Amino acid sequence: MSPKSVVIQAEPETPEADLLDEVHHRLEGAWRPEKGFIGWLSEVRHTAIAKRFIVTAFIFFALGGIEALLMRIQLSRPENGLLSPDLYNQLFTMHGTTMMFLFAVPIMEAVGLYLVPLMIGTRELAFPRLINYSYWIYLIGGLLLYSGFFLSMAPDAGWFSYVPLSGPEYSPGKRVDVWAQMITFTEVSGLATSVTLIVTIFKQRAPGMSLNRMPLFVWTQLITSLMVVFAMPAVMVSSSLLAMDRLIDTHFFNPGEGGDAILWQHLFWFFGHPEVYIIFLPATGFVSAIIVPFTRRPIFGYNAIVLSLVATSFIGFGLWVHHMFATGLPQLGQSFFTAASIMIAIPSGVQIFCWIATLWGGRIRFRTPMLFVLGFIAIFVAGGLTGVMLAAVPLDLQVHDTFFVVAHFHYVLIGGAVFPLIGAVYFWFPKMTGRMMSERAGKWSFWLLFAGFNLTFFPMYQLGLQGMPRRVYTYLGESGWTDLNRLATLGGLVLTAGVVVFILNALWSLRHGAIAGDNPWDADTLEWETSSPPPSYGFLYLPTVHGRHPLWMPRENQPVVVGLQDNRREVLVTHTLDAEPDHRDIVAGPSIWPFVLALVTGFTFITVIFTPWALPWGIVLAIIPLVCWFWPRSDMGRVILKEKA
Amino acid sequence: MTRNGILTILAVAVLGGCEREMRPPEVLPSSAARPRPIVRQTTLQPGRPLAQAEGRGPYDENAYSISQGQRLFSQYNCVGCHAHGGGGMGPALIDDTWIYGSEPQNIYATILEGRPNGMPSFGGHIPEQQAWQIVAYVRAMGRLVPKAAAPGRNDHLYSGESPQASGPGEELRQPAEHPR
Amino acid sequence: MNALAFLAGSGFAGRQSALNPAGPQAGRIEDLWWLMFWVCTAVFVLVMLFFIAGMVRGRRARKERGVEAPMSVEPGVERRMMRTIVAAVAATVITLFGLLVASVATGRSISPLRVPEDALTVKVIGHQWWWDFEYQHPEPYRIIRSPNELHIPVGQPVRILTTSADVIHSFWVPNLHGKLDLIPGRTADTWIQADRPGVYRGQCAEFCGHQHAHMGFLVIAEPPERFAAWWERQRQPAPEPATPLQQRGRQVFLSQACPLCHTIQGTDAGSRVGPDLTHLASRRTLAAGTLPNTRGHLGGWIADPQSTKPGNLMPPNPMKSEDLQALLAYLESLR
């Protein structure tokens, strides 16, 4: 593409309606959604894929919630015979695995897939077919895990699957193999999405959107995606080593033959700790995005927040041993990780202070998305402080693997990630569907969730200090833990009610919600410039920006980008740091081959559970869809309209 | 392995998942309700041969039971004579030679009744359920159970001592010193 | 602290609670806990005060100035907020550093390096799902094994060496100390000390399979003389059965499946797969702290262990009721 073929010019004062209609018609043609079943499988537009991700992830959230509710009911009485120990072990393993791998990371990435192109002023992500593949591989992995559940093959060694319990001797059968392979699915999916987001954010921002003018939401997506790239391989390696130990009798984790059970813990937690920041940082992006329109002011301390995000991501890779304080590692090493775990409170604290300052200096509208942001601040600060407690080795040695830890991480994960996520749904639902969610149901859902959450998890701090360990399917009556457990179960019911109200609100509002305009919240970022829902092509003309709050500081004659071809799928590629236009590029159009490749690789990974021969055969088979996918074509985006003479 | 082979294994393994993965498996009904099948040690019969007794052990396809059989095989000191299948004082169990038959009921009878030349009689000393679990493991050693249910490697050191000899928990070998 | 006394206690009436320390390590950890609790509570309250004040101020500002014209900020307020935040961050850093120092200091004070070389040493071997405590002694004939019940002398440090026979378990007696994982293939050590006599309950704190929930144990701290007497008794083999019923009971024991897994010293039963039963009647609980050691519970446990601890490795032992009674009579004689 000739670098000089893009012209930035001012939008005409009074655009001719015919001209705009023609442009719209041609863009619609190039970017239209696919029809038919094959078309649905081949769909690559980021909005469509993101919506699939979001719906699927929320279904997994509901399943994980049901598992949690069953556990809470089991624990409401001592020596309860409702669930057998085997079923309970499967339930807590499935709950953790579902929430961490099938819900939390995919949903955060999915919201990014939907919003990042719109927020940075481009039409599509950099690698649309890769995103398509990423969704299918994620879905197949989730289906693998849950069909395992119905075949009594659900993993039962915990979501962290410590060896030797999860090794070949103590976990017979294929349960843990299902877990290990599901990891492969979700991690491949995560890596594909992250790579796409990184490239899109770096190279496709609207002209004028230098890095220091990028919305904080986009910053979090960028940093999170980079963390994924560095963290996910560790768990892929460890799950592959475990699969090898189980399938082909290697001895990576066998202490009897020179392996080490601790190796598993190091590899897993090297991923596991960044994983929780991978879940948390996008949520801070939601908060930063929501708090601005509802305080009617720019966020306080943009630079400080960006630096905090970067610091968190770096320090987050140096914390993992705090999950292993009880294993008897040398004291000096443990102290290093105590220091790092305490230190990470500083950037998180800076973010909290900046948000509070934004509130202080703003004019607050207490609408539902804002309520969830406020609830997040309260709960997350509490959870973070208990994290500082857990960072201290002596104290951790008492409360590690007790309900104290369960309370802590639910405070930071539900308070720190799910609350902002639900607020984000309320906030961006109008943009995605064109309808507002019910405000009254929203407030009800908030208070039910807030009260239910605290009622469920606050007693668990006390339970942990009183000696109740984790992952126990029952407890003795004389333990004295009954009352607090009963209280927690009651809270769980209230929490469930809140979730149900939220989901019903969303489903009802799809049909009956008030029609939303382009910008119902009067927000400041670029996605609110499009219609609700956005057209398939995003922006009629790609915008340019001159500040951090494009819609709040409109300039007369703000230029738009012209010169992109509108009869095929083109985007503008800009420089990384300052977003100067560089060249045009074609992005891929719809294709069935990612789906076929997902089927082939999915089949390979699943069959590897049963025989190692699946791997060489699968690699050979996968060559076919790969070749078809990457076969060079000069018209990757379809050309549909011939130029008029 | 042909593609068909893979598909077959996949279908069988997945669909058989229910029984393979159950744990703990159903407790066997008491022996009163479950008469012991006649165990024949020769195919020679007068007149027409009667129908063969069922060829499947109750735990042949249950991975948990085979794993328990593996544990019991060590703990009840079967390894003392049979090693880990290679044999020693007793015959090897990983080959295709079965002196007293390889059907589940044959192996069960061997364990319970004992055999000449040194095989003890465990009847009445070990519960029947555990005996059937050991039967399943012995058949697994002889590659007579579905591959998906067969146990993986042990987490112990094989060469030289058995775990039984050195007692539970004592380090069998320190491959590398683990500093405190 | 008195106002919060209700937080202590509970957890097996305080016998499995980190807030009811009975030894120096748990005591120092509890001190660290209260320090961190109060500091973190103060921080939380402070942050919430600013948070609520911010919300109130923001609400008032909206009521006064409406929601039009976004982007307006007051430079003076911004500067003050910047200074406040810088001060807050500085305070945070100092506070966190203080907590770090407190943590490291506590860690050093409870470190295993402080145990004298000749301290009583107990090797803890974790099994699915019971504990084997092997008391070390330079003279091998004085070594004893005591499953599921750990007696220690009051006021003396006891070194604990940990390893596992199968999967990862975790040795945890909250009243006395934090936990230490039992990892197969590795030996780690810690130390405990009880400063007052009592019975403290511990529980496995690392998920280890089906019956992780029922893997408890007792730590009984007693005066040194009583401890030494206990050790001597544990060294003795099982007494000869005194009555015909007990003799029949021993016969039942030896002819059933029992000797294949259990040891009773002084008889032919010598298997080390399951717990040593030589002094079964001297212990307070059965099944790793799950059942009280009474005749009824023992009978029920022997007849069908799977109903109490489904999935554990002891099979059901159906037998005639006279045999069971005789067996119970014999086992009750094993003090």
Q: What are the tens digits of pLDDT across the range A505-562? A: 999 999 999 999 999 999 999 999 999 999 999 999 999 999 999 999 888 888 999 8
Across the interface, whether the CB atoms of C13 and A478 are under 8 A apart is answered yes
CA angle B171, B174, B176 (to 5 degrees): 150
User: How many angstroms separate the CA atoms of B107 and B141, rounded?
Assistant: 12
Confidence band, pLDDT 50/70/90 cuts, at residue A2:
very low
Residues of B in contact with C210 (CB under 8 A): 24
| Measured CA distances, A156 to A91, A169, B106, C311 (Å) | 8, 14, 34, 14
Confidence band, pLDDT 50/70/90 cuts, at residue A488:
very high
Q: Is the pLDDT of residue C19 over 50?
A: yes
Min Cα distance B50 → chain C (Å) is 34
Interface contact C270, partner B, CB < 8 A: no
Largest alpha-carbon pair distance within chain B? 73
pLDDT for the residue C36:
97
| Measured CA distances, B90 to A307, A612, B87, B99 (Å) | 71, 33, 5, 11
Interface contact B152, partner A, CB < 8 A: yes
Q: Please give the average per-residue pLDDT across A75-79, as a whole number.
A: 95
Across the interface, whether the CB atoms of B155 and C184 are under 8 A apart is answered yes
pLDDT for the residue A12:
52
Listed residue (C77, C90, C41, C46) closest to A359, CA to CA: C77
Across the interface, whether the CB atoms of B168 and C126 are under 8 A apart is answered no
Across the interface, whether the CB atoms of A465 and C17 are under 8 A apart is answered yes
Lowest model confidence (mean pLDDT) among A189-198, A209-218, B23-32: B23-32
pLDDT tens digits along A594-612: 999 999 999 999 999 999 9
pLDDT for the residue A140:
97
DSSP one-letter string for A58-91? HHHHHHHHHHHHHHHHHTTSTT--SS-HHHHHHH
For residue A329, the chain B residue with the least C-alpha distance is B180
CB pairs under 8 A between A and B: 97
> Which of C124, C162, C166 would best serve as a mutation to test chain B binding (most B beta carbons within 10 A)?
C166
Q: Report cis status (omega within 30 of 0) of the bond before A369.
A: no
For residue C120, give the 3-state DSSP assignment: strand
Across the interface, whether the CB atoms of A152 and B21 are under 8 A apart is answered yes
Q: Please give the average per-residue pLDDT across A438-465, as a whole number.
A: 97
pLDDT tens digits along C146-164: 999 999 999 999 999 999 9
Q: Is the pLDDT of residue C7 over 70?
A: no
pLDDT tens digits along A324-341: 999 999 888 999 999 999
Domain residue extents for chain B: 63-150
Put simply, the chain B residues between 62 and 91 with a CB less than 8 A from any chain A CB are 63-64, 66-67, 70
Listed residue (A506, A603, A533, A520) closest to A54, CA to CA: A506
Interface contact B23, partner C, CB < 8 A: yes
pLDDT tens digits along A248-263: 999 999 988 888 999 9
Across the interface, whether the CB atoms of B9 and A610 are under 8 A apart is answered yes
User: How many angstroms separate the CA atoms of A116 and A107, rounded?
Assistant: 14
Interface contact B172, partner A, CB < 8 A: yes
User: How many angstroms separate the CA atoms of B84 and B157, rounded?
Assistant: 11
pLDDT for the residue C259:
92
pLDDT for the residue B27:
63
User: How many angstroms separate the CA atoms of A201 and B18, rounded?
Assistant: 47
pLDDT for the residue A645:
41
pLDDT for the residue A199:
97
pLDDT for the residue B4:
56
Low-confidence ranges of chain B (pLDDT < 70): 1-17, 25-37, 52-56, 157-180
Across the interface, whether the CB atoms of B151 and A172 are under 8 A apart is answered yes
Number of helices and strands in chain A (H, E): 20, 5
Lowest model confidence (mean pLDDT) among A39-43, A284-288, B98-102, C25-29: B98-102
Residue C244 has φ and ψ, to the nearest 5°, of -60, -35
For residue C19, give the 3-state DSSP assignment: coil
Q: Is B97 exposed, middle or buried (0-12, 13-18, 19+ CB in 10 A)?
A: exposed
**What's the DSSP call for residue A257?**
G
| Measured CA distances, A15 to A12, A21, A23, A123, A531 (Å) | 5, 10, 12, 21, 18
Min Cα distance C63 → chain A (Å) is 8
Interface contact B29, partner C, CB < 8 A: no
pLDDT for the residue B67:
92
pLDDT for the residue B52:
63
Give the whole-number percent of chain A exceeding pLDDT 70.
96
Confidence band, pLDDT 50/70/90 cuts, at residue A152:
confident
Across the interface, whether the CB atoms of C255 and B124 are under 8 A apart is answered yes
Across the interface, whether the CB atoms of B75 and C273 are under 8 A apart is answered yes
Residues of C in contact with B180 (CB under 8 A): 112, 188-189
What torsion, rounded to 10 degrees, do the Cα atoms A157, A163, A169, A175 define? 30
Find all residues with CB under 8 Å of C86, minimum gap 6, and list them. none
Element (H, E) at A48: helix A46-74
Min Cα distance C230 → chain B (Å) is 24
Interface contact A247, partner B, CB < 8 A: yes
CB pairs under 8 A between A and C: 282
Residues of C in contact with A476 (CB under 8 A): 12, 290
pLDDT for the residue A277:
97
Residues of A in contact with C33 (CB under 8 A): 389, 395, 398, 465
| Measured CA distances, B42 to B49, B51, B101, B110, C328 (Å) | 11, 14, 9, 14, 45
Find all residues with CB under 8 Å of A480, minimum gap 6, and list them. A466, C10, C11, C12, C13
pLDDT for the residue B178:
34
Confidence band, pLDDT 50/70/90 cuts, at residue A374:
very high
Listed residue (A285, A236, A210) closest to A580, CA to CA: A210
- The CATH number given to B63-150 is 1.10.760.10
Give the mean pLDDT of chain C: 92
pLDDT tens digits along C70-113: 887 888 889 999 999 999 999 999 999 999 999 999 999 998 77
User: Tokens at residue A561, please?
Assistant: 């980008």
Across the interface, whether the CB atoms of A168 and B64 are under 8 A apart is answered no
pLDDT tens digits along B94-135: 999 999 888 888 899 999 999 998 999 998 888 888 999 999
pLDDT for the residue B6:
55
Q: Please give the average per-residue pLDDT across C57-71, as a whole number.
A: 88
CA angle C289, C290, C291 (to 5 degrees): 105
pLDDT for the residue A510:
96
pLDDT for the residue B128:
87
Partners of chain C (3+ Cβ pairs below 8 A)? A, B
Interface contact C181, partner B, CB < 8 A: no
Element (H, E) at A586: strand A581-586
pLDDT for the residue C148:
96
| Measured CA distances, C304 to A556, A574, B27, C310, C324 (Å) | 85, 73, 12, 9, 12
Min Cα distance A601 → chain B (Å) is 15
Give the mean pLDDT of chain A: 93
User: How many angstroms separate the CA atoms of A523 and A486, rounded?
Assistant: 43
Across the interface, whether the CB atoms of B169 and C132 are under 8 A apart is answered yes
How would you list the strands of the sheet with A7-10, edge to edge?
A7-10, A559-562, A542-543
User: How many angstroms separate the CA atoms of C244 and C251, rounded?
Assistant: 10
Interface contact B127, partner C, CB < 8 A: yes
Q: Is B41 exposed, middle or buried (0-12, 13-18, 19+ CB in 10 A)?
A: exposed
Residues of C in contact with A549 (CB under 8 A): 70-71
Q: Is the pLDDT of residue C11 over 70?
A: no
Interface contact C315, partner A, CB < 8 A: no
pLDDT for the residue B9:
58
Find all residues with CB under 8 Å of A22, minimum gap 6, and list them. none
**Sign of dihedral through CA atoms B6, B8, B9, B15?**
positive
On whether the CB atoms of residues A518 and A539 are closer than 8 A, the answer is: no
